[in-house]
Structure formats: C-alpha cells, structure tokens
Amino acid sequence: MKKIWIALILLSVVGCSAVRSQTMPIAKESASAGEGQSVTFKGKALALEGTGIKVGDRLPAAVLAANDLSPVNLAETGGKVRIISVVPSLDTPVCEEQTHALSERNGGLDKEVQLITVSMDLPFAQKRFSKEAKIGNVLFLSDYKGAEFGRSYGLLIQPLHLLSRAVLVVDKENVVRHLQVVPEITELPDLEAAMQAAKGLL
C-alpha cells in the first residue's frame, strides 16, 4: 500500500500540461460501485467503500461544497440532464485531461446539459484549476468534507480517501441513466458514450 501512496504522490506533482498531448487509454468497461467492489491503480486493487449506485437508481442525496464554500445537494439539482464527471484529483494528468474533454469536447451539449466535476480537491484548488484552465462551463464541487458523496455513491477509495474515476448521466427526474466506474483509474472514462447517453435524454 505504501507503494500506491508513493505512486499517487508522484502523479500529483507531474506537470499536467506536459502530458495532455499524449494519447491516454480510454476504458470501455465498467466496474461496480460500493462496498465489496474494487478498482485498480496500475494493477493494484483498491477497495471501494459506501453504498453502491447503479443505473436506474435515483440520485442519492449528497452535500458537496461549491467554490465559494456554499453547500450543494446533488439530489436537489434536478430539472436538467446532467453529466457528472468524478475524478480523484484535478492536479494529475488523467484527471486534467478528463475535465478538459468534458468542457471542450462536448459537441455543444453544455448549452442544454449541466456539466459537473466532483473531486476531493479543496474548493479553493478547484477554483484555481478552473481559472487557470479557462473552464467556465463546468460546475466544480468538492467532497472534501466527510466524503459524503463518495460514501453515498460507493465511489470512495479507502484508505486513500480519494474518489474513484467515474462518469454518470442523470435525467431531469434525477434518475441515473448511464454509469461507468473506470476499472483502472489511470485510464479515462468513455466520455463519448456518456455524451451520447445525455443526448438521448434531451
């Protein structure tokens, strides 16, 4: 487990923009969320904690912090189709690429679909990231307080206290219509599949 910690720390200090041009693998499969399930980091199994969410479930209540520290309950954000992109840490290459792809390569969906990124990063770090990346069409929410989102959705990686990489598509009635929990967290989610699912709900 010590080696996993070291690897994650190394990822966090790598210059993100330097690797954005490289081709990153895109996962086509999905793991399951929740207690008893796991994802991998470079092949090392990492256990998930919490109540597993699945397609067809109503969006669980989970209070996160916006950039101004105001509370946002995901279960109260209905009325629009949403794509919720979940990343372990914005200051890592794969997470940065995932967030840029959501923001910049959504084919105009951001005009009708709410784009949300959730991570454990502090709200101030999310605000800095969005400003430096010039991303204004994504709502950044932080799960740093108590990991309520991670536990409610079954996406909390223990003992690292990070969120597993995932993407959800939620309809206007707060029902999960698409879910991919990326089995190997060094790979990207299939955002194209998520965007197609969102288009089908408009």
Give dist(CA 95, CA 14) in Å, integer.
12
The pair of structure tokens assigned to 23 is: 């081709």
Give dist(CA 20, CA 55) in Å, integer.
31
Per DSSP, the residues of 114-134 read EEEEEESS-HHHHHHHHHHTT
- Exposure string of 54-79, with b = 16+ CB inside 10 Å and e = fewer, is eeebebbebbbbebeeeeeebeebbe
Per annotation, catalytic residue among 95, 157, 176, 195: 95
> Cβ distance 163 to 177 under 8 Å?
no
How many CA within 13 A on the CB side of residue 138? Answer: 29
Is 95 annotated as catalytic?
yes
Residue 166: its H or E element: strand 166-170
Positions annotated as catalytic residues are 95
